[in-house]
């Protein structure tokens, strides 16, 4: 009997890539999304890649009755919770919207899982919980720092909600995956990142500049204490990241966990600077990018990258794609989108 995995926010950038990998690993995938932060492009792309349409439910995870109906109507063996807002700057301007949406939706998921006999809960967390870490690379034992944004704070609070619910409710098991910087797109160029409006994140801004949708990329800060003066990040290919979710869900469903609540860094362990990434993008795609150096962006940390050793060891997962492969896929996706519009 196939196991069923609910992917909340499954029509989004990471959720759609995870849905593809789960289905191709033999799971039944149930995608639920309120479509507030994306359109049907990625869900349609998932259907094309798989050759069939995974069940899709349009719903808001802040609506507890709708979440209860979803769990009562399906035998859900694991839930991967992506449904959340994720724009750092927007969260500073609209904290209540972020706390309400991101925390209430997650609490509704756990509550509904409990009411329906419990299940395995995989939470989409973020390396942002580490803040400006003194010792790099960070490990899962590195202390979290008070977040500089409500977005990052909702990630910390959600981790604590999961940790405390696992302690209180034996029928709930939990894993938090702390992603570093997810980038790229599926090699089919049928799914990828679809930022609404002006991209906050680096790689979609790069690809939109290269395709001509944006005039010029602004590199925020050239005076950081790094080799080339720009910030360092751990860029993780979105397909590698998706495969880590399959490993984590399988670990839970097969009862291989060594504790009821586990945390894993999902990164490459390789720090890459903004300028290095720009240069790699130009080289691998044989183009020149229009960019300029401007002032630092408030809230940016100089450097964050993580040790994926625990995930390598316990999940049997390792990032495989090079930054060049990832940037080539990101560019192919942007060109495919341009072909569509």
Interface residue list for ligand WQD (CB under 6 A): 86, 88, 126, 128, 181, 200-202, 205, 217-220, 231, 233, 274, 297, 300
Q: Which residue number places its CB atom closest to ligand WQD?
A: 231
Angle between helices 323-340 and 274-284 (to 10 degrees): 70
User: Is the C-alpha dihedral spanning 132, 134, 140, 141 positive or negative?
Assistant: negative
Which residue is catalytic, options 151, 179, 235, 261? 151
Q: How far is the CB of 270 from ligand WQD (least distance, A)?
A: 15
Is 305 assigned a catalytic role?
no
Q: Please, are residues 168 and 314 in contact by the beta-carbon 8 Å criterion? A: no
Q: How far is the CB of 305 from ligand WQD (least distance, A)?
A: 11
- Terminal Cα distance for the chain, rounded: 41
Q: How far is the CB of 268 from ligand WQD (least distance, A)?
A: 14
Nearer to ligand WQD, 44 or 148 (CB): 148
Q: Please, are residues 98 and 26 in contact by the beta-carbon 8 Å criterion? A: no
Q: Per DSSP, what are the bridge partners of residue 56?
A: 31
Q: How far is the CB of 105 from ligand WQD (least distance, A)?
A: 16
Nearer to ligand WQD, 54 or 271 (CB): 271
* E-state strands within the chain: 4-8, 28-33, 55-58, 78-81, 119-126, 172-179, 181-183, 217-220, 232-233, 235-237, 261-266, 272-273, 291-294
Nearer to ligand WQD, 169 or 293 (CB): 293
Q: How far is the CB of 218 from ligand WQD (least distance, A)?
A: 6
Q: Give the DSSP letter string of 24-50.
A: HTT-EEEEEE--SS--THHHHHHHHHH
List active site positions. 151
């Amino acid at each position: 009997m196939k196991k069923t995995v609910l992917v909340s926010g499954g029509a989004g950038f990471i959720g759609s890539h995870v849905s593809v990998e789960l289905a191709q690993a033999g799971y039944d995938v149930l995608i639920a999304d309120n479509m507030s932060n994306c359109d049907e492009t990625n869900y349609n792309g998932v259907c094309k890649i798989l050759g069939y349409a995974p069940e899709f439910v349009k719903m808001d995870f802040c609506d507890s009755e709708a979440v209860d109906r979803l769990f009562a109507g399906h035998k859900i063996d694991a839930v991967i919770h992506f449904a959340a807002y994720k724009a750092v700057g927007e969260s500073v301007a609209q904290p209540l919207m972020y706390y309400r949406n991101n925390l209430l939706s997650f609490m509704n998921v756990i509550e509904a899982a409990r009411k329906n006999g419990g299940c395995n809960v995989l939470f989409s967390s973020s390396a942002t919980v580490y803040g400006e870490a003194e010792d790099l690379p960070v490990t899962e034992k590195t202390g979290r720092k008070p977040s500089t944004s409500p977005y990052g704070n909702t990630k910390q609070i959600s981790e604590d909600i999961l940790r405390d619910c696992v302690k209180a409710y034996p029928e709930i098991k939990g894993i938090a995956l702390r992603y570093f910087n997810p980038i790229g797109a599926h090699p089919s160029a049928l799914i990828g990142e679809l930022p609404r409006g002006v991209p906050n994140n680096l790689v979609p801004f790069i690809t939109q500049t290269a395709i001509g949708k944006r005039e010029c990329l602004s590199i925020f800060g050239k005076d950081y204490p790094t080799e080339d003066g720009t910030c360092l990040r751990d860029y993780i290919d979105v397909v590698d990241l998706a495969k880590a979710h399959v490993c984590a869900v399988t670990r839970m469903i097969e009862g291989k966990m060594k504790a009821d609540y586990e945390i894993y860094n999902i990164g490459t362990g390789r720090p890459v600077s903004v300028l290095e990434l720009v240069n790699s993008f130009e080289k691998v795609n044989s183009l020149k990018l229009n960019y300029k150096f401007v002032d630092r962006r408030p809230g940016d940390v100089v450097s964050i990258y993580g040790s994926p050793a625990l995930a390598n060891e316990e999940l049997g997962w390792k990032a495989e794609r090079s930054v060049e492969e990832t940037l080539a896929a990101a560019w192919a996706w942007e060109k495919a989108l341009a072909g569509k519009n």
